[in-house]
Structure 1
Amino acid sequence: MSPPSLIDAHSDLSGAAPVALSYELFPPRSPEAAETLWTTIREIETTDPDYVSVTYGASGSNRDTAVDLINRLLTETTLRPLAHLTCVGNTPQELAEIIGGLLDHGVRGILALRGDLPKDGSQPAPGSLRYAQDLIELIRRVEQRRSALLCAGKVAVGVAAYPTRHPESPSIEHDVEVLLAKQRSGADFAITQVFFHTEEYSDLLTRARRAGVTIPIIPGVMPLTSLRRLKRLGELAGVDPAPQLMDRLAAADSDAERRRIGVAATVDLANAALDAGAPGIHLYTFNEHGHALDVLDRLALPRPVRPASRRLTLSRSQELASEELAGQELASQGLAS
């Protein structure tokens, strides 16, 4: 048997890892929505997250607006975008072109997803990719062809994980086997779909680790403040949100009271995940920063200390945003007079 290495003899060399922080955004559907989104972007930028994910519509239905948003994040902010990409209904050639374009624009993180199946029951075109596992392998192949261009920043590939059974899955055990297959194909990390009960993340982590999944599994946490949104997401996920929370939200006599109740429940959910060993928190914002930042304010996340140059860049970015806003206000006043 080989003697232990120097590194093996010092297991605490790296110390405690900071907790990752990220948010999810989706491309705007109107000029008014874009204005709201960019207010949110500027607010979450001040928290210096590790990345922000940008969603991608079914079969790439909002591809252009998603790419436009990613490009603006890269050029106008200090935020690092994680680009969602779905594969159902797209051929390898189409997807390889999209992946290459993302990498050429500076994207270094892709969330590889299967995507929703056609609602009309129609079959994808011949040769289309069918599973996220296939998409991961395609991303790695495109990355390999660009190895010389990526020496200072390889691509991180993320995937989805399910704390509760996927609606199309025969069992939660099958979901873990799928996650393990994604890891074997080259996935670097996973982000969970929304969940509503404190034990669900720890149960997923236990099942995954026993099956051999070693990649980080980051809990996706949604501010539990909207009764309508909770009901809708519960239907999509096939899971009933906590009845007591639903009753309390329904009985609240003001938006402020619902916000207080929902934020407290979300903090409990996030803290339970952190206590179970979560390496980060991914906040689903729905393009609204207020409730997400309320949750963040109440979480004591150990965050990395960024280099001074990055903090200065962040500060300058905020100054430019303020100057732009002031200019718009002056212009509107001039028009009004």
Structure 2
Amino acid sequence: MSPPSLIEAHSNLSETAPVALSYELFPPRSPAAAESLWTTIGELESTDPDYVSVTYGASGSNRDTAVELINRLILETTLRPLAHLTCVGNTPEELAGIIGELLDVGVRGILALRGDEPKDGAAPASGSLRYAQDLIELIRRVEQRRSALLCAGKVAVGVAAYPTRHPESPNEAHDVEVLLAKQRSGADFAITQVFFHSEQYADLMTRARRAGVTIPIIPGVMPLTSLRRVTRLGELAGVAPDPRLMERLAAADNDIERRRIGVAATVDLANAALDAGAPGIHLYTFNEHACALDVLDKLALPRPARPASRLSAIARRQVLAS
């Protein structure tokens, strides 16, 4: 029998890692929305998240605004952007150019998504990519061609995961097979779409691990404080929200009570995911910070110790912004 390796001899090397924290933002649609967004960015930055994701419209409809927001985040804040990128309706040449542009401004994380099919039913352009798996492989090719330029930071590629059946999928097993294929193509981690029931994340983890998915699967959690938003997201996700929560939100006497109920439900959902082994929490903010920070305050996540210089930089930015 061979002797144990040096790594195996030091069991403390596998101690529990800090919990990752991230937020989702979307590019503003007006000057007023931009002003509000930057207030939110300042508030979220004070929590020192690991990254913030920036959404990307269908077929790149808001590409310029998204890239502008990403560039400002890199230049004017301490935040690390994770750029969403969709592939439906775009050719490999177009997407390679966009990937190169993102890398040139300093992006080192990309969330590779298929994107929505055209609503008018039009056929995609000839030669355009159809699946997130193809986009992952393209990102890795662009990365390989730029490997010398990226010695100070390779590209982390994320993908979407589905705690409940994707609306276009035949079943949940197929969704896991797709996730496994994304992993094989080079995905580093996954972020889940919204879910409303505490057991759904744990069920996804069980199915994914049994199938051979080993990448981190981070639960995406939205503050469940808006009855209208919860209803709409339930329709888009194809899953009914908890009827008891919906009844309580509808019966609340005022917004303060509704917010208290929704924040408590969100914290319960996030804690259930953490108990099931979630490596982090990704909060869908809808460009609003108040409810997200309420959730974060009550979660008490174990966060990594940061260098004093980084915390000082965040504090200085807060002073300048005030």
In 1, Cα distance between equivalents of 2:125 and 2:177: 27
In 2, Cα distance between equivalents of 1:158 and 1:132: 10
Matched, 1:197 2:200: no
Larger radius of gyration: 1
Where does residue 245 of structure 1 map in the other structure? Answer: 245
Matched, 1:94 2:94: yes
Where does residue 211 of structure 1 map in the other structure? Answer: 211
- Map 1:248-327 → 2, pairs under 5 A: 248-322=248-322
Amino acid at match of 1:221: V
What percentage of residue pairs aligned between the two structures are identical?
86
What does the per-residue CA deviation read over 1:294-319, in whole Å, with 9 as the maximum and x for residues that have no partner?
00000020001111111111112112
What does the per-residue CA deviation read over 1:93-125, in whole Å, with 9 as the maximum and x for residues that have no partner?
000000001001100000000000011111101
Amino acid at match of 1:35: E
In 2, Cα distance between equivalents of 1:2 and 1:139: 40
Where does residue 111 of structure 1 map in the other structure? Answer: 111
In 2, Cα distance between equivalents of 1:277 and 1:314: 30
Where does residue 230 of structure 2 map in the other structure? Answer: 230
Where does residue 63 of structure 1 map in the other structure? Answer: 63
Structure 2: runs of 5 or more not aligned: none
SS of 1:12's equivalent in the other structure is: helix
In 2, Cα distance between equivalents of 1:72 and 1:233: 29
Could you say what the CA RMSD is over the residues aligned between the two structures, in angstroms?
0.8
Amino acid at match of 1:296: L
Amino acid at match of 2:140: R
Shift of 1:3: 4.1
SS of 2:170's equivalent in the other structure is: coil
In 2, Cα distance between equivalents of 1:317 and 1:145: 36
In 1, Cα distance between equivalents of 2:113 and 2:77: 26
Deviant stretches of 4+, over 6 Å:
none
Shift of 1:216: 0.2
Structure 1: runs of 5 or more not aligned: 323-337
Where does residue 137 of structure 2 map in the other structure? Answer: 137
In 2, Cα distance between equivalents of 1:16 and 1:232: 37
Where does residue 332 of structure 1 map in the other structure? Answer: none
What does the per-residue CA deviation read over 1:188-229, in whole Å, with 9 as the maximum and x for residues that have no partner?
000000000000000000000000000000000000000000
In 2, Cα distance between equivalents of 1:2 and 1:295: 49
Shift of 1:14: 4.2
SS of 1:13's equivalent in the other structure is: helix
Where does residue 326 of structure 1 map in the other structure? Answer: none
Where does residue 162 of structure 2 map in the other structure? Answer: 162
Matched, 1:34 2:27: no
In 2, Cα distance between equivalents of 1:258 and 1:76: 35
In 2, Cα distance between equivalents of 1:9 and 1:129: 47
In 1, Cα distance between equivalents of 2:2 and 2:140: 34
